[in-house]
A and B are shown apart, each in its own frame.
Chain A
Amino acid sequence: GEDVEQSLFLSVREGDSSVINCTYTDSSSTYLYWYKQEPGAGLQLLTYIFSNMDMKQDQRLTVLLNKKDKHLSLRIADTQTGDSAIYFCAETIKAAGNKLTFGGGTRVLVKP
């Protein structure tokens, strides 16, 4: 079945790197996503990775995918106070009509 899990909370100092982890159960995922949601705002697409890739880098963001362990991570380099938000990982599964199944979100707090 589909299940996506994330840790609830991450605290990091400004300038350090943040790593947000996510695990999923369905090995037939097509795409895996990271979204950012600031308070009172919508879902901002940060990046996504096709399931046959291991890594994707986009400026300060690095996504790592370990298909064997069904583990996805998002690393944010040089974390800024503006990075404080809830981060959601999600997967799509073609057989499930490409619906996005979300994790519960990781609340990241960046301290100055």
Chain B
Amino acid sequence: DTAVSQTPKYLVTQMGNDKSIKCEQNLGHDTMYWYKQDSKKFLKIMFSYNNKELIINETVPNRFSPKSPDKAHLNLHINSLELGDSAVYFCASSQPQGAGYTFGSGTRLTVV
């Protein structure tokens, strides 16, 4: 009964490939997010969706495309992967006004 689950946990792929990360939450939250954690552990938001509608798109390259089929799911598709995309990607969800922000366990993406 994991609250926010994302798959896969690890992803190793070659440059130029296209990959997707999936996220699902069973908390009944309306808002979902993607965050990126770099090698120095710095965390920064990428996208936010509220009830399937894009709210935040934080200067992320066009190669990154989020998709929210319903408010419980937010997937992240990445085209033409680059070495610099290597990072840990975290999905999260929250209640209105940002209460109860809960994160998934992260997807460690390594581009070789």
Give the contacting residue for A42; candidates B97, B100, B104; CB below 8 A.
B104
CB distance from A91 to the nearest CB of B (A): 9
Interface residues on B, range: 20 to 34
Q: Which B residues are closer than 8 A to A by beta carbons?
A: 31, 33, 35, 40-45, 48, 55-56, 58, 90, 92, 94, 97-106
24 example contacts (A-B, Cβ-Cβ < 8 A) are as follows A30-B98, A31-B98, A31-B99, A33-B101, A35-B103, A42-B90, A42-B104, A43-B43, A45-B103, A48-B99, A90-B43, A92-B97, A97-B48, A97-B55, A97-B56, A98-B94, A98-B97, A99-B45, A100-B35, A100-B43, A100-B98, A100-B101, A104-B40, A105-B42
Q: Which A residues are closer than 8 A to B by beta carbons?
A: 30-31, 33, 35, 37, 41-43, 45, 48, 50, 86, 88, 90, 92-94, 96-102, 104-105
